[in-house]
Chain A
């Protein structure tokens, strides 16, 4: 399985699109975390493109959850772009995220796993 690949693009409106591919798992999650922390101060909104993702484990899921919450806490937005990778859909189901409707950290807003915060 390939390593994590990262690409990003920041437009004039401050929208940062991050494209991740390969493997987002316990040994690569730290890379994405560091990257996000680096970008957060400048990005007004973050769009995460997971379509090239090939593997994700629960640490990757936690990281995305945390990134979503962190962005929201700074009054910015977090969303997915592109078609979510099949492995992400499977992880949502396997780990029991599919029934989330409202996220505790973003009261009254549909959880990102349920297609919310877009």
Chain B
């Protein structure tokens, strides 16, 4: 068992990775809606949490780096900087850098420090000349022993009105304002209403005064100290208006209304406020229109409102109370262990049911049925716990499309649908690489260059659509693009050139499209950094088949292609068809099985030894598991053909007997058997017998190769 500190560090890494994913998603959304303040706040909060928690758990490098990025985004949040493509590019790069730093802390390769410096330099160049400090720099600090101490953030409202001759006494108000800035986050509004007409102006006099909203971890005395040498030469009012550690802090993240602030400051009277409130206009606008207060005073009050609300919002987000919710974070390996245990339980339950049936004991059968019902519920609940929305994977691809299309000079949008569709987390993890390959291919080969699209009468911007939807016990994941579509002639010519088919071979469109899954096959006219080396599509197909899934392509010249992946919901427990050959048991994924028909010796003789069965007039190829696994004894007179759909074709598997449907708990084969072709795992039956899980696609491929 690891120490509490190690557990906290692991929890931080996990949380930081989630925040980085959220950060990336928010940044990409922000690119589409750069004025959206909620998104800007989401970005800021993600960085703020990564930084704050990083400092707490000893990730000082991450805290320092993130602080720099956060500082820039704070400017955007305060409306002092626009969200530009450059800012987003740099922030996305920062996200990658933080990810690399996190990886390095977990034993991965070291993060490129020079790259980090470049990013920071780039970000700093975007900053306006004066950079206010972030409102909250550190919420919690940790001592050497890991103990933490909460730091309070005080927000002060300051009105600083120097005497007119203050300048002649050698005091520079601008220097005092800078001292305030050194204390924390400052919003400073100059009030210029007392500046007279030119004829009445004494150039050496100070007519300006200032309203300042300061949020700082320093106390009142530190603020007063700034004015210690001018307190006799000015009107000074310092009020504490918010304190994150005391009762002054409100219970929610709201703050006073604008009118209340102005009344409290003495800028308007309660009567004036009531009068204005009775008019249905924005309060600040009316005040200015009526000439009751100058715009700068309204602006100053709004700043106060904004800053305190912001502090309170941040506190709400980062406070321990906010972290207490109805969900519990559980390490993935514990869930995996639970699923394994449930799998064992399913096996034991099958044994119990079988024993009860054999003994014909009514009481035992009744108990076995009750246990079966409970375990079935437990199994469903446990598997549901590992289900994650596929949308978490989708968000990564937005970044991929954004970066690749920029690299290739193409204009491409990624659209997604069905992001809420849930899949087992293991399946989602294994689906990532194939999807990356497929999307890269769509971008590189599918979508045309803008000028080509324009010439073809299409919009210059191409669309790659990534969708997911449930279909029975599977999920269909589709990658659709509105690009050029697959070039059948080119694929066919290339296949002939590579000796995959002969020039005389007649192929359906689907068979031609399936050629792209052959190892080393590529029709790309040039190899790019993105794709074209012929490595990928065969790997994709193998990866999908390893998930017990299937892949299908349709395409229309000039209009685009659709690739459909059919993926099982889970990899832990699947519904199968249990079959027997002599004393050996096998299971086939039930989702692939279409029907079962008999095969007599006479049928075999009628086909002249060829492995073809006449099923209602249609010739169906089959392969014999007896031959495949060299089982020679006790061949029955009448065998059974289990017809399955493999890569879009009907293929039969000849067995002695079809036992029936079976709930299969998948066990992986040991290292020694990892490379055995045609078998993807094993399962234990109720009586302890081992049944092998067949991999129909590989079996068919092996048979085809052997036939060649």
Contact = CB atoms under 8 A, between A and B. Distances in A.
A65 B198 CA distance: 9
A96 B190 contact: yes
Interface in B131-179: 167, 172-174, 177-178
A83 B189 CA distance: 24
A93 B207 contact: no
Given A63-B203, A100-B299, A93 B130 contact: yes
A30 interface: yes
Contact of B203 (A40, A59, A96): A59
B208 A90 contact: no
A61 B210 CA distance: 14
B129 A96 contact: no
B199 interface: yes
Size bracket, chain A contacts: 35 or more
Among B174, B195, B210, B291, chain A packs the most CB atoms within 10 A around the CB of B195
Given A62-B201, A69-B195, A93 B295 contact: no
A19 to B, nearest CB: 19
Given A26-B167, A58-B208, A65 B192 contact: yes
Interface stretch (A5-13, A47-55, A102-110): A102-110
A70 B197 contact: yes
Contacts of B204: 26, 29-30, 59
Given A66-B198, A86-B129, A98-B80, 14 more contacts: A58-B167, A58-B173, A58-B206, A59-B203, A65-B195, A70-B198, A90-B130, A94-B174, A94-B177, A95-B177, A96-B189, A100-B190, A101-B295, A103-B295
A66 B195 contact: yes
A96 B173 contact: no
22 contacts: A37-B198, A40-B198, A57-B172, A58-B174, A62-B192, A62-B206, A65-B195, A66-B196, A69-B197, A93-B128, A94-B174, A95-B174, A95-B190, A96-B189, A99-B189, A99-B303, A100-B192, A101-B299, A104-B192, A104-B193, A104-B296, A107-B291
B195 A62 contact: yes
Given A57-B174, A90-B130, A66 B296 contact: no
Nearest to A40: B198
Contacts of B288: 102, 107
B198 A62 contact: no
A66 B210 contact: no
B539 to A, nearest CB: 56
B294 interface: yes
A66 B130 contact: no
A102 B201 CA distance: 22
A44 interface: no
A2 B204 CA distance: 19
B450 to A, nearest CB: 36
Contacts of A40: 198
B687 to A, nearest CB: 80
A31 B296 CA distance: 29
A93 B192 CA distance: 14
A67 interface: yes
Contacts of A63: 198, 201, 203
A40 B197 CA distance: 12
Contacts of B291: 107
A37 B190 contact: no
* Candidate in B192, B210, B288, B294 with the most chain A CB atoms within 10 angstroms: B192
A30 B203 contact: yes
A26 B173 CA distance: 13
Nearest to B297: A104
A73 interface: yes
Given A40-B198, A97-B190, A99-B303, A62 B167 contact: no
Given A33-B198, A73-B197, A99 B299 contact: yes
Interface in B273-317: 288-289, 291, 294-296, 299-300, 303
Contact of B208 (A62, A86, A102): A62
Contacts of A104: 192-193, 294-296
A36 interface: yes
A102 B193 CA distance: 12
A102 B295 contact: yes
B419 interface: no
A50 B172 CA distance: 23
Interface centre among A30, A86, A96, A101 (most CB of B within 10 A): A96
B188 interface: yes
A96 B295 contact: no
B130 A59 contact: no
Contacts of A95: 174, 177, 188, 190, 208
Interface in A70-118: 70, 73, 86, 89-90, 93-104, 107, 111
**CB-CB nearest 3 A-B residue pairs:** A96-B188, A104-B294, A29-B203
Contacts of A65: 192, 195
Contacts of A36: 198
Nearest to A100: B296
Nearest to B294: A104
Contacts of A99: 187, 189, 296, 299-300, 303
Given A30-B203, A63-B203, A70-B197, A90 B129 contact: yes
Contacts of B178: 94
Contacts of A66: 195-198, 201
Interface string A11-41: 0000000000000001001100100110010
